Amino acid sequence: MSDMTSNAILALDNVSKVFGRADKPVYAARSVSFALHPGRTLALVGESGSGKTTAARLIMREYVPDEGRLLFKGAPMGKADAKALKAYRSAVQMVFQDPFAALNPTHTIRYHLERPLRLHQPDLDAAQRKAAIVELLERVKLDPAQMMPKFPHELSGGQRQRISIARALAVNPQVIVADEPTSMLDVSVRQGILNLLNDMKAELKLALLYITHDIATARYVADDIMVMYAGQIVEWGAVDKVLDDPHHPYTRLLLSAVPDPDRRFDDVRFADELSRIDEIRTQSALPQTQISQVGDNHFFRALPA
Amino acid sequence: MSQPVLSVRNLNIDYVGAEGDFHAVKNVSFDIAPGEFFGLAGESGCGKSTIAFAISRLHRPPALIRTGSVIAVNGRNVLELDDADLRRFRWREVAMVFQSAMNSLNPVLTIEAQFYDVLKAHGPISRAAARERAAELLKLVDIAPDRLDAFPHQCSGGMRQRIVIAICLALNPKLLIMDEPTTALDVVVQREILQRIDVLRKKLGFSVLFITHDLGLMVQVSDRIGIMLEGELVEVNDAQTIYRQPQHAYTKRLWASMPKLRGEQTRLEAAP
């Protein structure tokens, strides 16, 4: 994926993260490489346990890579000092899956948005901070006067997720990692959040990593997509190319299992893959080092022969 | 049409509160035919789970089913059963797979013991015969009989979910209620489980009441679908018709808010 790392704001370069005992290692991430670009959304899809959240934690520097490097604006992030770490934290923000757990129930919305401003922009006076909070709430399409004095329990799930997004935006980030931001919301609310993420990306030139197991929403928001299985990215490229012409057996299996109102159960896209679920899982979990290119911006890992 | 397995008529359910009642289910009527896969869709809070619980009379105060409501299973009004009848009725006529059912197994009992629990509660059966029956049931859901001696934590989430379904089928129920049975599972496992259910209901002839908020999945598996909005059943039709020619404005907005897997991608507006 070397061509993807040019002008990237953030990149993982051949990163592995191993858990478990030395004689029985579990690769939560195996030779993972990808790059995030300003104004582009990259979707990371895969089943639970495939390593999606490990990738997010590596980016958030909650995990230190066992192999490989994390590159920020082209420079490797090693053991950064406190100041560099703070700068990184304000550049890279996260929106979590559960909007009910991500906010502190004992604090008002105003407090939630004021705190990152106090910490990361200490020069602002009280009036400037308030103006910034109003702007943030307007940006996420909430009524500032109404919202500021409220507590999280007074808000709907969709509103809380908007607050989480506003909080992430408070520190003027360049990268947002959104880990399943809509999976706990109803379909009708989901759309509003996805549109908001799309608008933020375009208006603020954000680089967005959208982590999900919902392929349809990935297609809706993303420019590029990566499919992860057992710690490896098995296929990646432009979202329409990967979804229309999947090459890795696991991608095919995943796509044939995605709920699709246009196909009844007996009308199957990749029937063969669906009849070999266990075999494909076993094979796809093996290390796959050989990368094949399908076309411009479309790659997959070849299964070992 | 033969007699429906389930016939719900004028079902009204209130959640009784000190400051007035919340009318959660409003005059809902629908039928499920033998062998039919019926989907009930709607957003959280629309009353779909309240209906599911009421059918097996598992609703608890403050939920109150109003007089005049009828829930008939094979022609018998469930709301009039006494405790002894109710005990016989549950599992044997209607079995329910709960949301996060994979966590409803007892962590300190083996799988075999949990099958035995259900089987012995509903008729005299020897431990050996129960084990044999349990092995048969596990085979139905594609699980090797050697798993009988395993504990729940030794099985994956998808496997636990299938075990719960197998236990639900132990007494050959006429109706299987599944309330968001696969929400916590990934799509490949979800597909495996629902495909298995689809095969089994054709083979064993039971009906399914399927509750989900995944509309794509619902259209894919259901014969007929009912759409709920704020306690009311606003539209019922066969799955393809309700997908391709929705009549109610809310149904139309629901489909419109669903991102598509192929074809033109347009900006979708949220259903208000």
Structural domains of chain A in order of their starting residue, each with its CATH number: 2-301 (3.40.50.300)
Q: Which of A191, A216, A274 sits opposite B261 (nearest CB)?
A: A216
CA-based nearest residue in chain B for residue A256: B188
Task: Using the predicted structure, report yes or no on whether residue A213 has a pLDDT greater than 90.
Answer: no
Asked if A189's CB is within 8 angstroms of B270's CB, the reply is yes
Given this model, what pLDDT does residue B270 score? Answer: 59
Tokens of B93: 């006529």
Given this model, what pLDDT does residue A2 score? Answer: 44
**Tens-place pLDDT, residues B201-211:** 999 999 999 99
Query: Which residues of A are less than 8 Å from B215 in CB distance?
Result: 187, 261
Asked if B194's CB is within 8 angstroms of A191's CB, the reply is no
**What average pLDDT score do residues A258-279 get?**
83
In a domain, B262, yes or no: no
Given this model, what pLDDT does residue B255 score? Answer: 86
Q: What is the dihedral of CA A43, A47, A48, A53, to 10 degrees?
A: -20
User: Which is more confidently placed, A244 or B1?
Assistant: A244
Query: Which residues of A are less than 8 Å from B271 in CB distance?
Result: 187-188, 191
Given this model, what pLDDT does residue B208 score? Answer: 96
Percent of chain B with pLDDT over 90: 54
**What average pLDDT score do residues A243-262 get?**
92
Q: Is B267 on the interface with A (CB under 8 A)?
A: yes
Q: Which residues in chain B come in under a pLDDT of 50?
A: none
Query: Which residues of B are less than 8 Å from A243 in CB distance?
Result: 261-262
**Tens-place pLDDT, residues B179-233:** 888 776 778 888 888 888 898 999 999 999 999 878 888 999 999 999 999 999 9
Q: How far apart are CA A205 and CA A66, in angstroms?
A: 31
User: Which is more confidently placed, B269 or A99?
Assistant: A99
Q: Tell me, what's the ipTM?
A: 0.77
Q: How far apart are CA B196 and CA B140, in angstroms?
A: 8
Query: Which chain A residues in 58-77 lie under 8 Å from chain B, judged by CB atoms?
Result: none
CA distance B244 to chain A (A): 10
Confidence of residue A277 (pLDDT cuts 50, 70, 90): confident
Amino acid at A194: L
In a domain, B1, yes or no: no
Q: Which of B43, B261, B267 sits opposite A188 (nearest CB)?
A: B43
Residue B180 is part of a domain; what is its CATH number? 3.40.50.300
Q: Is B182 on the interface with A (CB under 8 A)?
A: no
**What average pLDDT score do residues A177-206 get?**
88
Query: Which residues of B are less than 8 Å from A256 in CB distance?
Result: 191
In a domain, B270, yes or no: no
Percent of chain A with pLDDT over 90: 67
User: Which is more confidently placed, B193 or A287?
Assistant: A287
Q: What is the mean pLDDT of chain A?
A: 90
In a domain, B222, yes or no: yes
Total structural domains within chain B: 1
Q: Which of A186, A192, A265 sits opposite B221 (nearest CB)?
A: A265
Given this model, what pLDDT does residue B123 score? Answer: 83
Q: How far apart are CA B153 and CA A120, in angstroms?
A: 44
CA distance B17 to chain A (A): 19
Domain with B120 in it: 6-256
In a domain, B261, yes or no: no
Q: Is B268 on the interface with A (CB under 8 A)?
A: yes
DSSP string, chain A: -GGGSTT-SEEEEEEEEEES-TTS-EEEEEEEEEEE-TT-EEEEE--TTSSHHHHHHHHTTSS--SEEEEEETTEE--S--HHHHHHHHHHEEEE-S-TTTSS-TTS-HHHHHHHHHHHH-TT--HHHHHHHHHHHHHHTT--HHHHTT--GGGS-HHHHHHHHHHHHHTT--SEEEEESTTTTS-HHHHHHHHHHHHHHHHHHT-EEEEEES-HHHHHHH-SEEEEEETTEEEEEEEHHHHHHS--SHHHHHHHHHS--TTS-TTS-SSHHHHTTHHHHHHHHTS----EEEEETTEEEEPPP-
Q: Is A285 on the interface with B (CB under 8 A)?
A: no
Given this model, what pLDDT does residue B1 score? Answer: 55
Which of B44, B48, B185, B191 is the best substitution to test chain A (most A C-beta atoms within 10 A)?
B191
Least confident stretch, A57-66, A112-121, A260-269, B124-133: A260-269
Q: Is B245 on the interface with A (CB under 8 A)?
A: no
Task: Using the predicted structure, report yes or no on whether residue A3 has a pLDDT greater than 80.
Answer: no
In a domain, B85, yes or no: yes
Q: Is B213 on the interface with A (CB under 8 A)?
A: yes
Cα B165 to Cα A208, B108, B156, B230: the distances in Å are 40, 19, 14, 30
Q: Is B249 on the interface with A (CB under 8 A)?
A: no
In a domain, B268, yes or no: no
Using the Cα atoms of residue B157, residue B158, residue B160 and residue B161 in order, give the sign of their dihedral: positive
CA-based nearest residue in chain A for residue B267: A195
In a domain, B36, yes or no: yes
DSSP string, A195-260: HHHHHHHHHHT-EEEEEES-HHHHHHH-SEEEEEETTEEEEEEEHHHHHHS--SHHHHHHHHHS--
